[in-house]
Amino acid sequence: MSKVIITVVGKDTVGIIARVCTYLAQMNVNVMDISQTIVQEYFNMMMIADMEKASGTFEEISEGLENLGQEIGVAVKCQREEIFLKMHRI
């Protein structure tokens, strides 16, 4: 399993989750968990996804998500899960 954390932060608008998920489906990335909240009109979303069977490299998908974020007008970031696990789990 190759888990990544995708975060989306930006001004709330229609279809953010749909567009991110559509892109991930195209790249054969399996979404395992989604949580989202809106703080002061700002949309915060976190996805845990599995890239094991993805049809692109981490670099390509990470770049693809960044570009998609720019199109929608939000910041999309894709990071390997380990940095969060190391920091928050003993």
Partner 1 sequence: MLNMFEVIETNNMIEHEKLDVRTITMGISLLDCCDSDLNALNEKIYKKITTYARNLVSTGEEIARDFGVPIVNKRISVTPIALVGGCACKTPDDFVTIAQTLDKAAKEVGVNFIGGYSALVCKGMTQAEENLIRSIPKALASTERVCSSINVGSTKTGLNMDAVRLMGEIVVETAKATRESDSLGCAKLVVFCNAPDDNPFMAGAFHGVTEADAIINVGVSGPGVVKVALEKARGENFEVLCETIKKTAFKITRVGQLVAQEASKRLGVPFGIIDLSLAPTPAVGDSVAEILEEIGLERVGAPGTTAALAMLNDQVKKGGVMASSYVGGLSGAFIPVSEDQGMIDAVSLGALTLEKLEAMTCVCSVGLDMIAIPGDTTPSTISGIIADEAAIGMINQKTTAVRIIPVIGKGVGDTVEFGGLLGYAPVMPVNQYSCEKFVNRGGRIPAPIHSFKN
Amino acid present at 75: A
Rounded to a whole number of angstroms, the minimum distance from the CB of residue 28 to partner 1 is 19
By CB under 8 A, the count of residues binding partner 1 is 23
66: which 2 tokens?
């960044």
Number of neighbouring beta carbons within 10 Å of residue 78: 22
Query: Does 87 engage in binding with partner 1 (CB under 8 A)?
Result: yes
- Closest to partner 1 by CB, 3 vs 28, is 3
Site residues (CB under 8 A) for partner 1, limited to 18-57: 33, 35, 37, 44, 46, 48
Report how far residue 84's alpha carbon sits from residue 12's, in angstroms, rounded to the nearest whole number.
25
Residues in contact with partner 1 by the rule CB under 8 A: 5, 7, 33, 35, 37, 44, 46, 48, 58-59, 62, 77-88
